[in-house]
Amino acid sequence: MIQIKQIATTRMAGLLLAGCALLPGATFGQTIPSLKDTFKNDFGIGTALHNAQFEERDPQTTQFIVRHFNMATPENIMKSAPIHPKWDTYNFEPADRLVEFGKKHNIQINGHTLIWHSQLPAFMRGMKSRDSVRTFFEDHIKTVAGRYEGKILSWDVVNEALNEDGTMRKSVFLDYLGDEYVTEAFRLTQKASPTTELYYNDYNNEKPAKRAGCIALIKKIQAAGVRIDGVGIQGHWHVGRVPFKDIEESILQYAALGLKVMFTELDIEVLPRNFQGAEVGQRMTANEQSNPYVNGLPDAVQQQLAADYEALFKLFLKHKDKVTRVTFWGVNDGNTWLNNWPIRGRTNYPLLFDRSNQPKPAFYKVVALKQ
């Protein structure tokens, strides 16, 4: 508390001083430390972006993003439904614009995602033959990964292929291609895009059972002589319940396989939820208690959120030789997916910046680790 107050006071003084020297068009946001610069010797700092942001519809938003992030993941536009809407039709325009945005602002792009059971194109629905699934699988990877060869840093080649108990998740790919499909996806991506880093990405894969399944999957890919460069732990956690021990153990175990470890979709949600993870198909019914902070976050929760982020970044820094990237799933609390999932229209507060891009106590705790 005291520390935050002190930082806040220092910040106010800083704002007043810096305010005198601001260039035309500059915002007060520029007077706070830049996240990406703060951690420039440790790991990349990323964010998920949607169209309005990478189309630069609002110059202040662009300025803010460019100041704090050096990596970006498309929140939706590179998923198979939007990028491959019909058998022989691809919509590359948004992804091309994102790549341009990255080039212009020195932001590396993490492609998300080639093979995922969710957000599949409509023509995949009801697909009932091995041959057609195989054709989709091969064409999709070849065409999409091929197009961005040399233009993006990495691909989440396969996303969320596992159940909570570590077994393979039932999907159209598992049903028709068997569990070899994961290795095969990496093999095809490597061929189509040889210079791109290749990752497996999932949520809850820091938990022991799912982690064991994830390790088995990785070992299988490696045993087949196929390249896998990293594993993404999404990091959709809940305030006061961040599984620090499991996270640390996972960093160690994944790194021991020779992989880069990254936190790819970080957010810490503060609203009531009766399950953990990020299974997009799961929903909850709204009731009187489900949206308690419409008028603001109570101080106790704000402080807990700050403490959780502080402990998390302490852990990331401890293992900075293994952790290569930390990506937040959204720029600020106003555009997080958690305002609409698992219940639509809630007021959530899972990120470091509030709805006006102002830093929250969690931001100051995180940057203070490097000061």
Q: What amino acid positions are annotated as catalytic residues? A: 160, 265
Binding residues for ligand 9MR, rule: CB under 6 A, are 75-76, 118-119, 159, 203, 234, 265, 278, 280, 337
| Cα 16 to Cα 28, 32, 93, 314, 365, distances in angstroms | 9, 12, 43, 30, 21
Provide CB contacts within 8 A for 309, sequence distance 6+: 268, 352, 362, 365, 366
Number of alpha helices (DSSP H) and beta strands (DSSP E) in the chain: 13, 9
Name the minimum Å distance from CB 250 to ligand 9MR: 17
Name the minimum Å distance from CB 329 to ligand 9MR: 6
- Amino acid residing at 346: R
What does the alpha-carbon distance between residue 283 and residue 272 come to, in Å, rounded to a whole number? 12
By beta-carbon proximity to ligand 9MR, the closer residue of 118 and 171 is: 118
Indicate the SS3 state at residue 341.
Answer: coil
By the 8 A CB rule, do 114 and 157 touch? Answer: yes
Name the minimum Å distance from CB 201 to ligand 9MR: 7
Provide CB contacts within 8 A for 279, sequence distance 6+: 203
By beta-carbon proximity to ligand 9MR, the closer residue of 309 and 329 is: 329
Q: Which of 104, 95, 81 is nearest to 51 (CA)?
A: 95
By the 8 A CB rule, do 192 and 142 touch? Answer: yes
By beta-carbon proximity to ligand 9MR, the closer residue of 34 and 163 is: 163
Name the minimum Å distance from CB 342 to ligand 9MR: 10
- Amino acid residing at 110: N
Partnered with residue 73 across adjacent β-strands are 48
Name the minimum Å distance from CB 169 to ligand 9MR: 13
Name the minimum Å distance from CB 202 to ligand 9MR: 8
By beta-carbon proximity to ligand 9MR, the closer residue of 193 and 204 is: 204
Instruction: Give the residue closest to ligand 9MR by C-beta.
Output: 337
Name the minimum Å distance from CB 224 to ligand 9MR: 25
DSSP string, 35-102: HHHHTTTT-EEEEEE-HHHHTT-SHHHHHHHHHH-SEEEESSTTSHHHH--BTTB---HHHHHHHHHH
- Token pair of 5 as six digits: 């107050």
What does the alpha-carbon distance between residue 211 and residue 203 come to, in Å, rounded to a whole number? 10
By beta-carbon proximity to ligand 9MR, the closer residue of 190 and 335 is: 335
By beta-carbon proximity to ligand 9MR, the closer residue of 184 and 265 is: 265
CA angle 80/86/90 to nearest 5° reads 65
